[in-house]
A and B are shown apart, each in its own frame.
Chain A
Amino acid sequence: EDQVTQSPEALRLQEGESSSLNCSYTVSGLRGLFWYRQDPGKGPEFLFTLYSAGEEKEKERLKATLTKKESFLHITAPKPEDSATYLCAVIVGNQFYFGTGTSLTVIP
């Protein structure tokens, strides 16, 4: 069965304390892996797409990497405005499978 698992469920960081979020997947026929940011009461906001193992994407303090079985979202020197839930998803055929997310809180 296709599955996406994110860890940890929640993460509290001091401002400036770098860390990583994990997304592991067990799917066949992966066509892409995606990271989203979701603020409370809003729709997810697209961050990155990764297509093949070894690929990396960066945006401001965020960097996403992909291996054959998992992806990491690295957050460097986070700020309070980075507080949000981060979701990962994979696409198989035309269907997207989402993890349950990591709730990130950055404390000033």
Chain B
Amino acid sequence: SQTIHQWPATLVQPVGSPLSLECTVEGTSNPNLYWYRQAAGRGLQLLFYSVGIGQISSEVPQNLSASRPQDRQFILSSKKLLLSDSGFYLCAWVRARGSYEQYFGPGTRLTVT
């Protein structure tokens, strides 16, 4: 069965500090991978998606970046965090071919202080 992991679960970082969130998927190969941010009481905002190693599409220009160094690894980064980067970050995967069903990780709660 497929499993998706995210870490850390919670993170408190000062403004201006760097960020690295990691997501890994087990039990599947060549998935499409996604990073979302969810602000309190709001829907999911798509940040980045990737259809393969090294292939990143950005939906929201901002101080965040993403990388996919391995087939089942997706990393979200920032060089300098802003207060507005606070939120609930979710990683998700979809089988590249098939039903388009999207499965989410447990999320990372980021608070920028």
A-to-B contact residues, CB < 8 Å: 31-32, 34, 36, 41-46, 49, 87, 89, 91, 94-101
Contacts and interface: CB of A to CB of B under 8 A. Distances in A.
Contacts of B100: 31-32, 34, 49, 91
A44 B104 contact: yes
Contacts of B32: 94
A94 B32 CA distance: 8
A78 to B, nearest CB: 22
Interface footprint category on B? 20 to 34
Interface of B: 32, 34, 36, 41-44, 46, 49, 51, 57, 59, 88, 90, 92, 99-107, 109
Given A94-B51, A98-B44, A100-B43, A46 B107 contact: no
A76 B24 CA distance: 37
A99 B42 CA distance: 9
